[in-house]
Structure 1
Amino acid sequence: MTVSHPVKREVTDYLELTGNTQAVNSVQLVARVPGYLEKVFFRDGQMVNNGQPLFQIQRNTYEASLRQAEGQVMALRSQLEYAEGQLIRYSNLLPHKAATQTDVDNWRYQRDSARANLKAAEANRDLARLNLGYTLVSAPFSGRIDRRQQDPGNLVGSETNNSVLAQLIQINPIYVYFTVSDLDLARLLKSNSLPGVAKTEKRPVFIALAQEEGYSHKGYVDFAATSLTPTTGTLLLRGVFRNPSGRILPGLYAKVRLPLERRVALLIPDTAVRSDQQGSYVLTVNGKNTVERRAVKVGHQEDSLRVIEQGLDGNEWVIVKGQLKAPSGSRVTPVREDAEPASTPSRTTAEPKVKP
């Protein structure tokens, strides 16, 4: 069998939480004007780009309304120009007593009335142009579009139940919402690293989805609620994660790992840790080459090593191979690996890979 001393090095503590994924943006595409749906420019479920045309509602009625409104503007502009000319003409005749003050006042009224009518006609023209633009429904942002709710040929926009055309969601990036308790919040605030806290930096956060090993998705915390939920005593947090492949869908359950402070800890190979009904334990070899059972409290796993929170002081010879051949109380002849007692910490230069 093989024995080795625990190693001492810096590790990162983590909060183990659960959360759910949610789209960054989600919108129901609706028909803002009534009409018959003429064309659909996408396949159900495909990715679309910002500004990409998606639906075409019949245009001819709204094109005619726009032309009618533009003609009304032209007619009223001519009336205004005529009234302004007449007002100038009669105002010039008034000093020569070739026109009366009543004539001048009448044309001033005609000019003001024509000006007001022109403004109303211009507003109607702008509204007609706006309604014509509404006949083309485009994507307000890049994302994935759901199946269409209306088929070409159907009348849309005339009632509430036929106004919704499809739903569009933005999933790159994607949000993960999770909560922390008031006790865990105190640990977070100790490191001054929540969004909205002065001098804070982006705190990394890791997630793992169902059937995934390790926390391979890395993001950062970008939002913290302004107060705790009174009924649960928890604070809502949000992480942002890149999702270029679109594999992370809204509504998924996610395991969340939130890094806390770094500290020095003892670690042994994860294979050296055993467990029974009494809890976790390791087998050690004392100075008389006798096997002893040592109860331990374990922490998270980093690479192939397991953090030992309690039960070892770093000077023990821990059996790392051949435990089945060494029951507690037996005498053995161990093979010692080249290792010194964990008296001085070794520093890691990169964030270790961690497992639950």
Structure 2
Amino acid sequence: MTYRRATGFGLVITSAALTFVAAAALAQGAPPAPPVQVSAPLAKRVTNWDEYTGRFEASEQVEIRARVSGFLDSLHFRDGDLVKKGDLLFTIDPRPYRLSVDVSRADVARAKAQVELAQNEVERAEGLTQNRTITARDIDQRRANLNSAIGTLQGAEANLKTAELNLEWTQVRAPLAGRISNRRVDPGNLVAGGQSGATLLTTIVAVDPINFVFDASEADYLRYSRLTKDLRKVTSREEGSPAEVRLADEREWKRRGKIDFVDNALNARSGTIRGRAVFENKDQFLTPGTFGRLRLFAGEADALLVPDTVIVSDQASKIVLTIGPENKVVPKPVVLGQISGGLRVIREGLAPTDQVIIGGLANPMVRPGGTVTPQPGEIKPTGTN
């Protein structure tokens, strides 16, 4: 009996000892909470911008068509050239139109001779009336002949101007300055002129300045209308609201222009309204049809900013990891704004007192619900935009 009791007592002590040793070993082997850098979001007054996708369009575009018919004699440009207003582009065979001018000039000369003859006859008849050697009826007839000759002369002069105009139109010139497309007709072909059915020879687009066309939502339109009318934080419509644009391969907003047109009605199907901004394009780099991103000034406001690298994607939403009670990692869904000073504006989701994890996110143990060791950090602007 004594042995068994001793043995039983000994077994109890052994189990307790093993439990204590295991707990100690487990405590010594547990990994420490990973260190992370934390900081409150940077509070700063920023300029708000709204961004839109759109494309460039030519400020002017003209289809070059023949005004007179004939064989295309020669062309005076290379496909894709930059041309000036008034530059000679095509020449239509002018010989038939020169002949028409000569014929019209001859008709004018003949009509002038008839006017002079009729004028002389009227003057002669008026001198004979004193002697009553001619009747009043004869005088009236001669005056009518003079008026008829004058009318014929005026018609001949009009025909001469038409012939000269047609001759002038055999030289097809650029109606505006811009970049010309490729020729649609080669020399030697017969081209048709006139008001309808005229042959298309080429096109010219004006690219300096150049327009940028985009669509804005109804909500944005209302907000901008109130901002312009009530708050007076945007320049007047006559001067144009400021706008900036960048291309798909550009990171900075270096191209600056202004809004010069907003459509007079919203699209009933899409609920959007069309806007247009105009930009200088002296180097002719911007080409009609190119897509880009436009941003519009939307006023100034106080905002909270964090580095763009601390924002984590969670399916369709964006989250920022913060420190909660007992140093637990707490995710907070946020609504993102634009980049300002190299930092991301947080429109919704963060408070000025939140401690945002800005360093140590690469550690796989830093995850929602985990425990971390916070260390002080600082959020600083890294850029100018």
SS in structure 1 at match of 2:50: strand
| Mapped partners of 1:247, 1:323: distance in 2 | 42
- Relative to the length of structure 2, the TM-score reads 0.80
Q: Of the candidates 235, 239, 246, which is equivalent to residue 208 of structure 1?
A: 246
Contact in 1 for aligned 2:85/2:174 (Cα 8 Å): yes
- Relative to the length of structure 1, the TM-score reads 0.86
Q: Of the candidates 82, 88, 102, which is equivalent to residue 47 of structure 1?
A: 82
| Mapped partners of 1:135, 1:237: distance in 2 | 40
- In structure 2, do the counterparts of structure 1 residues 67 and 226 end up closer, same or farther at CA, with 3 Å as the change threshold? same
For these two proteins, the number of residue pairs brought into alignment is: 339
Q: CA deviation at 1:286?
A: 6.2
SS in structure 1 at match of 2:373: coil
- In structure 2, do the counterparts of structure 1 residues 100 and 198 end up closer, same or farther at CA, with 3 Å as the change threshold? farther
- Partner amino acid for 1:192? T
| Mapped partners of 2:192, 2:214: distance in 1 | 38
| Mapped partners of 1:282, 1:236: distance in 2 | 35
Q: CA deviation at 1:162?
A: 7.1
Aligned partner of 1:343 in structure 2 is none
| Mapped partners of 1:7, 1:338: distance in 2 | 6
Structure 2 spans left out of the alignment, 5+ residues:
1-35
Q: Of the candidates 98, 102, 114, which is equivalent to residue 63 of structure 1?
A: 98
Indicate whether 1:121 and 2:156 are aligned. yes
- In structure 2, do the counterparts of structure 1 residues 273 and 21 end up closer, same or farther at CA, with 3 Å as the change threshold? same
| Mapped partners of 1:299, 1:146: distance in 2 | 41
| Mapped partners of 1:308, 1:158: distance in 2 | 62
Cα-to-partner distance string for 1:20-43 (whole Å, 9 max, x where unaligned): 322121121111111221111000
| Mapped partners of 1:116, 1:322: distance in 2 | 98
Aligned partner of 2:281 in structure 1 is 243
| Mapped partners of 1:70, 1:155: distance in 2 | 27
| Mapped partners of 1:352, 1:260: distance in 2 | 18
Aligned partner of 2:373 in structure 1 is 332
Aligned partner of 2:201 in structure 1 is 165
Q: Percent identity?
A: 33
Aligned partner of 1:133 in structure 2 is 168
Q: CA deviation at 1:306?
A: 0.7
| Mapped partners of 1:122, 1:338: distance in 2 | 84
Counterparts of 1:151-300 in structure 2 under 5 Å? 151-157=186-192, 163-192=199-228, 199-200=236-237, 201-277=239-315, 279-285=317-323, 290=327, 292-297=329-334, 298-300=336-338
Structure 1 spans left out of the alignment, 5+ residues:
340-345
| Mapped partners of 1:131, 1:192: distance in 2 | 52
SS in structure 2 at match of 1:334: strand
Aligned partner of 1:313 in structure 2 is 351
Contact in 2 for aligned 1:291/1:332 (Cα 8 Å): no
Contact in 2 for aligned 1:150/1:162 (Cα 8 Å): no
| Mapped partners of 2:224, 2:346: distance in 1 | 23
| Mapped partners of 2:118, 2:325: distance in 1 | 115
Q: CA deviation at 1:333?
A: 5.3
- Partner amino acid for 1:53? L
- In structure 2, do the counterparts of structure 1 residues 183 and 57 end up closer, same or farther at CA, with 3 Å as the change threshold? same
Aligned partner of 2:12 in structure 1 is none
Question: Which of structures 1 and 2 has the bigger CA Rg?
Answer: 2
| Mapped partners of 1:230, 1:330: distance in 2 | 53
- In structure 2, do the counterparts of structure 1 residues 226 and 238 end up closer, same or farther at CA, with 3 Å as the change threshold? same
- In structure 2, do the counterparts of structure 1 residues 158 and 275 end up closer, same or farther at CA, with 3 Å as the change threshold? closer
> Relative to structure 2, which stretch is displaced further, 39-48 or 256-265?
256-265
| Mapped partners of 1:163, 1:282: distance in 2 | 63
